[in-house]
Structure 1
């Protein structure tokens, strides 16, 4: 089960089952487990183990691909071995059960891989309601993908719609129309949105100066960068950095959280 927007949910073996106390993936013991009291109708000796992982995401600035997914995605795990998604889940479970040197970094890497495999499965099973107008369609469109790749590789370049259209081998008008249809935003609106998300990540996860960050995301002055950042995210860059410093999770838990419920 994949919850792109963190929807509240419950797991049960039948619809009228008594629910046990809720738990969060971050509330785990040293071995990564959370013991949940069994319900009164749970047979003695029976045990259900669930593997849970979570990312810390700011849902106000969610990626278009995640925004287009339904709130709850159910993916059926194949029974045969050799399926990458099943193998990744099993490997994650084994690492949690028998941790070793570097486990924290290993689990973070496994979660990244698992996340990509889940998105691939969503694509293969056509979970998106209309894949003719979606992020998936955008990256499958040769022209739009070429423009996106060029921009993502060099977000600090002074991009214009004309230059992005040239990268896509399309006319300016055709490119702007196609981009808006697939991405859901005009090209330069997307450029600004992506740059500010990148800037926010640099503000919260690095010690780079405001000047360096401004140049990294395509602004020649700190003033122009600060104005754009405030307009896009509703807060000044310095305030965003200070807020993040107060709320930051420990390094081992900042990127992702994972736990086992038994």
Structure 2
């Protein structure tokens, strides 16, 4: 398993919040849900993502964006439009004054937004009906948002490698996944929530894989190093079996190079020696596993390559400044 696959295996959608928003200009949504990552697909019309402390980013029709939280931001039809709706934790929508809007703006299956004025439904250029008729969806802008609520050590390694906002313009890549998500989000078939979770995962993976392959992405060292003929195999070995009692000599033998050559090349490309990387990876795995209430510290220690709970506790506290139990208590409290 390569480094990106291992990291993406953590933030797997489980009941992710998926919504199709239909909005009439001028529109502006203040996002304060503190979600670690949100994927936005501008199905129709244009929009802007406006971070609090960065340059606004333009979204054209069919562009896909990934926004890294938990800092708040605004999505609007224009950078200067004042927010009229605030999205709070739990995906609660309200006016800036606090009046809830969830029921008032409900438009049916996973759809939310502005209602049409009475009158005939608009008709597209191909003759198809473009809205649900009087009282149905009436906005010109259509946007799909998929919000992950996960928050873990492994996902944090991935998220910190991303800019606050990244956009893949429609004309710069080719994938059927955005269109398929747009089709499936309004279906009410049995098992549809699981279908949508998997579609959201696939779309996120496709976007990140495409993004990291671009020079402007400034891909993190662990991503760039996986294509190296020496360091790449060593990284995959560490990720595939972190509990194995690895040594630099053992890794070098499996990679077919000398110990000195592997240590030097690994440090140059990844930014730290192999055993230091393995320690940080094991502790990241342990931090995620400790989030599970039924997992004992002894069981976690075995899974990540420590011979005893004491050994794991000593390493955890030395690197992270807290014991495994203190980490678990802090996660539960939050």
Provide TM-score, normalisation by structure 2.
0.60
Q: How far apart, CA to CA, are the structure 2 residues paired with 1:151 and 1:60?
A: 14
Residue 237 of structure 2, aligned match among 125, 143, 150: 150
Give the match for residue 161 of structure 1. 248
Secondary structure of the 2:75 match is: coil
The structural deviation recorded for 1:66 is 4.2
Q: How far apart, CA to CA, are the structure 1 residues paired with 2:154 and 2:241?
A: 24
Q: How far apart, CA to CA, are the structure 1 residues paired with 2:200 and 2:277?
A: 27
Contact 1:122/1:128 (<8 A) preserved = yes
Contact 1:25/1:54 (<8 A) preserved = no
The structural deviation recorded for 1:117 is 0.2
For residues 223 and 171 of structure 1, do their structure 2 counterparts lie closer, same or farther at Cα, with a shift above 3 Å needed? same
Q: Which has the larger radius of gyration?
A: 2
The structural deviation recorded for 1:222 is 0.8
Gaps of 5+ in 2: 1-64, 93-101, 103-107, 116-137
Give the match for residue 140 of structure 2. 47
> Greater relative contact order (Cα 8 A, min sep 6): structure 1 or 2?
1
For residues 25 and 182 of structure 1, do their structure 2 counterparts lie closer, same or farther at Cα, with a shift above 3 Å needed? farther
Give the match for residue 192 of structure 1. 279
C-alpha root-mean-square deviation of aligned residues, in Å?
A: 3.1
Select the structure that is richer in helix: 1
Secondary structure of the 1:10 match is: strand
For residues 59 and 229 of structure 1, do their structure 2 counterparts lie closer, same or farther at Cα, with a shift above 3 Å needed? closer
The structural deviation recorded for 1:116 is 1.1
Provide TM-score, normalisation by structure 1.
0.75
Gaps of 5+ in 1: 38-44, 248-262
Q: How far apart, CA to CA, are the structure 2 residues paired with 1:195 and 1:159?
A: 12
Contact 2:263/2:273 (<8 A) preserved = yes
Residue 12 of structure 1, aligned match among 67, 70, 76: 76
For residues 208 and 6 of structure 1, do their structure 2 counterparts lie closer, same or farther at Cα, with a shift above 3 Å needed? closer
Residue 2 of structure 1, aligned match among 53, 66, 81: 66
Instruction: Tell me how many residue pairs correspond in the alignment.
Output: 234
For residues 6 and 13 of structure 1, do their structure 2 counterparts lie closer, same or farther at Cα, with a shift above 3 Å needed? same
For residues 170 and 94 of structure 1, do their structure 2 counterparts lie closer, same or farther at Cα, with a shift above 3 Å needed? same
Q: How far apart, CA to CA, are the structure 1 residues paired with 2:264 and 2:320?
A: 26
Secondary structure of the 2:147 match is: strand
Give the match for residue 57 of structure 1. 151
